Chain A
Amino acid sequence: MFAYVLRRLWQMLPTMAGVVLLVFFLFNWVGGDPAYLLAGKMADANAIENIRRQLGTDQPYTVQLWIFVKQILTFDFGNAWSTGEPVSHIIASRLGPSLTVLVPLTILETGFGIALALAIAFVRGSLTDRMVMVACTVGMSISILVYIIVFQYVFAYQWGLFPVQGWGNSLGENLLTYALLPIVIGLAVSIAPTLRLYRSFVLDEVGQDYVRTARAKGLKEGRIVWVHVLRNAAIPIITHVMASLPALLIGAFLLERFFGIPGIGREVILAVERSDFPVIKAITVYVAAATMVFNLLADLLYQAVDPRVQLR
Chain B
Amino acid sequence: MTTTLHMHFPGLWTLAWRRLRADRVAMAALAVVGAFLLLVLLSATGLVAGDWEDEVAVNYAPPTFVGADATARALAQAQLPRVVASAPNDFDPLAAELLELKAQVAQSHPPVDKRMTLPFGADKWGHDIVKKTIKGGETSIVVGLAAALVAVALGTLFGAVSGFYGGWVDDLFNWFYSIFTAIPSILMILTVAAVLQQKGVATIVLILGLTGWTGPYRLMRAEYIKHGAREYVMAADAIGASSWSRMFGHILPNVSHVALVQMSILVVGFIKAEVILSFLGFGVPVGTVSWGSMLNEAQNELILGKWWQLAAAASAMALLVTSFSLFADALRDALDPKIK
Contact = CB atoms under 8 A, between A and B. Distances in A.
Contact of B190 (A32, A140, A269): A269
Contact of A287 (B176, B183, B302, B303): B183
B78 interface: no
Interface string A4-32: 00000000001110110011001100111
B192 interface: yes
Given A23-B191, A141-B318, 7 more contacts: A18-B175, A19-B183, A26-B191, A141-B325, A142-B314, A149-B298, A284-B188
Nearest to A247: B184
Interface in B152-195: 175-176, 178-179, 181-188, 190-195
Interface stretch (A47-55, A72-80, A233-241, A275-283): A275-283
Interface stretch (A93-101, A178-186, A248-256): A248-256
Given A138-B318, A283-B187, A30 B196 contact: yes
16 contacts: A14-B178, A15-B182, A19-B183, A23-B191, A141-B320, A143-B318, A145-B276, A145-B292, A250-B190, A272-B190, A272-B191, A280-B191, A280-B194, A284-B183, A284-B187, A291-B184
Nearest to B192: A26
Interface in B224-282: 268, 272, 275-276, 279-282
8 closest pairs, A vs B, by CB?
A141-B321, A247-B184, A18-B179, A141-B322, A288-B182, A31-B195, A272-B194, A146-B314
Contacts of A26: 191-192, 195
Given A19-B179, A143-B275, A138 B322 contact: yes
A49 B205 CA distance: 35
A224 B109 CA distance: 78
B192 A146 contact: no
A39 interface: no
A155 interface: no
Contacts of B329: 137
Contacts of A31: 194-195, 197
Interface in A136-158: 137-138, 140-146, 149-150, 153, 157
Contacts of B302: 149, 153
A288 B326 CA distance: 33
B49 interface: no
Contacts of A140: 321, 325
Contacts of B191: 23, 26, 272, 280, 284
Contacts of A300: none
Interface in B8-35: none
A271 interface: yes
Interface in A240-297: 246-247, 249-251, 253-254, 257, 268-269, 271-273, 275, 277, 280, 283-284, 287-288, 291-292
A269 B280 CA distance: 8
Bin the interface of chain A by size: 35 or more
B187 A143 contact: no
B190 A280 contact: yes
B183 A288 contact: yes
A272 B183 contact: no
Interface of A: 14-16, 18-19, 22-23, 26-27, 30-32, 137-138, 140-146, 149-150, 153, 157, 246-247, 249-251, 253-254, 257, 268-269, 271-273, 275, 277, 280, 283-284, 287-288, 291-292
Contacts of A247: 184-187
A146 B315 CA distance: 10
Interface residues of chain B: helix, strand, loop or mixed (majority): helix
A268 B187 contact: yes
A271 B279 CA distance: 16
Contacts of B335: none
A15 B175 contact: yes
Contact of A275 (B197, B280, B298, B303): B197
A24 to B, nearest CB: 11
B284 interface: no
B295 A145 contact: yes
Given A143-B276, A153-B303, A15 B184 contact: no
Contacts of B325: 137, 140-141
A277 B178 contact: no
Contacts of A18: 175-176, 178-179
A196 B184 CA distance: 21
B276 A146 contact: no
B303 A157 contact: yes
B40 interface: no
A149 B299 contact: yes
A265 to B, nearest CB: 9
B321 A254 contact: no
A143 B314 contact: yes
Given A145-B276, A268-B187, A275 B194 contact: yes
B317 interface: yes
B317 A143 contact: yes
B289 interface: no
A14 B175 CA distance: 8
Given A145-B279, A268-B187, A19 B314 contact: no
A23 B196 CA distance: 13
B310 interface: yes
A291 B182 CA distance: 6
A230 to B, nearest CB: 22
A145 B313 CA distance: 11
Nearest to B310: A149
